């Protein structure tokens, strides 16, 4: 991919990680992918660079000596709308949940695939550009719809009786995409695009297949779906009221 834009028009990422062995090659990779990347080794450096440049997105390591990533994330959220992606060394849920509550837009668990990170950066930037001013972290917290609750922190779907119904990664991504855009008609291509940022796995599965599996789990009558409806010639839409919890 050849970048023809001048530097100033490229999306400007701030990469904050105390580990040089990760930060430098990652910055190199992201630069190749068409981003302008500024690096910082700690929270203090990050604050200075955010003051100096117009940053479009921050990639932030949680575990850092001194002020940690979560605290910096809270500061970023309090002072502006810059999207944040967290890098976490621990795969424990508490970190993810706290991170998302702090207002992070997404997270990746180390060791992560740089491609996946780049894909997520693109999705978030596109979303930020489309939505204009950022109102809230659209994919964090819990969503209630048609008697179900989708908890993003735990990646769990819970029914009326509080029994959780585990979802596969593909199913979760698809449902997440639908629930965060209620009543919008999403084409198969859009759905593929929205779910691919999560896991490469979803590439190869037909969206239709995933939808029918999801319907089996959440619809009262999967043959006559009330929640995930098919739009003729279009794609799919979530036809239920969604409440953010």
Partner 1 sequence: MNLRRFLPKSLTGQIGLLVALALFVAQAINFGLMLNERRGARFGQVIVPSVTRLIDANERLANPLPVDPVDDDRPRRQRRDFDQRTRVQLSNTQPIPGGQPRRPDIEDAIERGLVDGGLDPLQVLAVVRPIDDRRPFLRKMSPQRADRLRRLGAELHVAVQLRDGRWLSLQTGWPRSEMVVIWQLLIQTGILYIVVLIPVLLATRRIAKPLRNLAAAARSFVPGENAEPVEEHGPSDVRSVIAAYNGLSKRVTAMLDEKDRMLGAIGHDLRTPLAALRVRIESVEDDEDRGRMADTIDEMNRTLDDILSLARLGRPSEPPTDVDLSALIDAVVEDFRDLDMPVQFEEAPRLTMRIRTGLMRRAVRNLIENAVKYGQSAEVTLVPESENALIAVADRGPGIPPDQIEAVFDPFTRLETSRNRGTGGIGLGLALARAIVRDAGGDIVLANREGGGLIATIRLPR
Determine if 217 is a binding residue for partner 1 (CB under 8 A).
Answer: yes
Determine if 26 is a binding residue for partner 1 (CB under 8 A).
Answer: yes
Angle at alpha carbon of residue 121, lines to 118 and 127, rounded to 5°: 145
What is residue 34's three-state secondary structure? coil
Measure the CA–CA gap between 101 and 103, rounded to whole angstroms.
5
Determine if 221 is a binding residue for partner 1 (CB under 8 A).
Answer: no
Determine if 156 is a binding residue for partner 1 (CB under 8 A).
Answer: yes
Determine if 5 is a binding residue for partner 1 (CB under 8 A).
Answer: no
Q: Which one among 114, 141, 182, 222 touches partner 1, defined by CB under 8 A? A: 114
Burial class of 243 by CB neighbour count within 10 A (0 to 12, 13 to 18, 19+): exposed
DSSP lists the bridge partners of residue 60 as: 16, 86
Pure H helices in 68-168: 69-79, 93-101, 114-131
- How far apart are CB 15 and partner 1 at their closest, in Å? 11
The answer to whether the beta carbons of residues 105 and 83 sit under 8 Å apart is: yes
Measure the CA–CA gap between 234 and 217, rounded to whole angstroms.
23
Q: Which one among 76, 171, 211, 228 touches partner 1, defined by CB under 8 A? A: 171
Determine if 111 is a binding residue for partner 1 (CB under 8 A).
Answer: yes
- How far apart are CB 207 and partner 1 at their closest, in Å? 13
- Taking residues 57 to 96 in sequence order and writing x for each that binds partner 1 by CB under 8 A, - otherwise, the string is ------x-------------------------xxxxxx--
Measure the CA–CA gap between 3 and 83, rounded to whole angstroms.
23
Of 20-28, 48-56, 70-78, 225-233: span binding partner 1 (CB under 8 A): 20-28
Determine if 147 is a binding residue for partner 1 (CB under 8 A).
Answer: no
Measure the CA–CA gap between 79 and 82, rounded to whole angstroms.
9
Closer residue to partner 1, CB minimum distance, 75 or 155:
155
Binding interface with partner 1 (CB under 8 A):
19, 21-22, 25-26, 28-29, 63, 89-94, 110-115, 156, 161-171, 201-202, 204-205, 213, 217
């Amino acid at each position: 991919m050849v970048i023809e834009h001048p530097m100033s028009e490229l999306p400007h990422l701030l990469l904050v990680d105390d580990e040089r062995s990760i930060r430098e090659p990652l910055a190199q990779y992201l630069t190749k992918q068409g981003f302008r990347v500024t690096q910082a080794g700690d929270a203090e450096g990050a604050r200075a660079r955010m003051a100096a440049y117009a940053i479009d997105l921050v990639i932030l390591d949680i575990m850092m000596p001194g002020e940690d990533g979560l605290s910096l994330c809270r500061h970023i959220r309090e002072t502006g709308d810059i999207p944040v992606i967290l890098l976490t060394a621990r795969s424990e849920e508490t970190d993810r949940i706290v991170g998302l509550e702090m207002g992070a837009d997404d997270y990746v668990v180390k060791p992560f695939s740089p491609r996946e990170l780049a894909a997520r950066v693109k999705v978030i930037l596109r979303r930020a550009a489309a939505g204009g001013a950022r109102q809230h972290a659209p994919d964090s917290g819990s969503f209630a719809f048609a008697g179900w609750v989708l908890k993003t922190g735990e990646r769990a779907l819970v029914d009326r009786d509080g029994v959780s119904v585990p979802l596969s990664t593909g199913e979760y991504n698809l449902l997440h995409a639908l629930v965060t855009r209620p009543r919008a008609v999403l084409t198969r291509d859009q759905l593929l695009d929205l779910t691919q940022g999560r896991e490469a796995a979803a590439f190869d599965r037909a969206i239709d297949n995933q939808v029918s599996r999801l319907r089996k789990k959440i619809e009262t009558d999967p043959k006559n779906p009330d929640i995930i409806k098919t739009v003729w010639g279009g794609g799919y839409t979530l036809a239920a009221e969604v409440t953010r919890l």
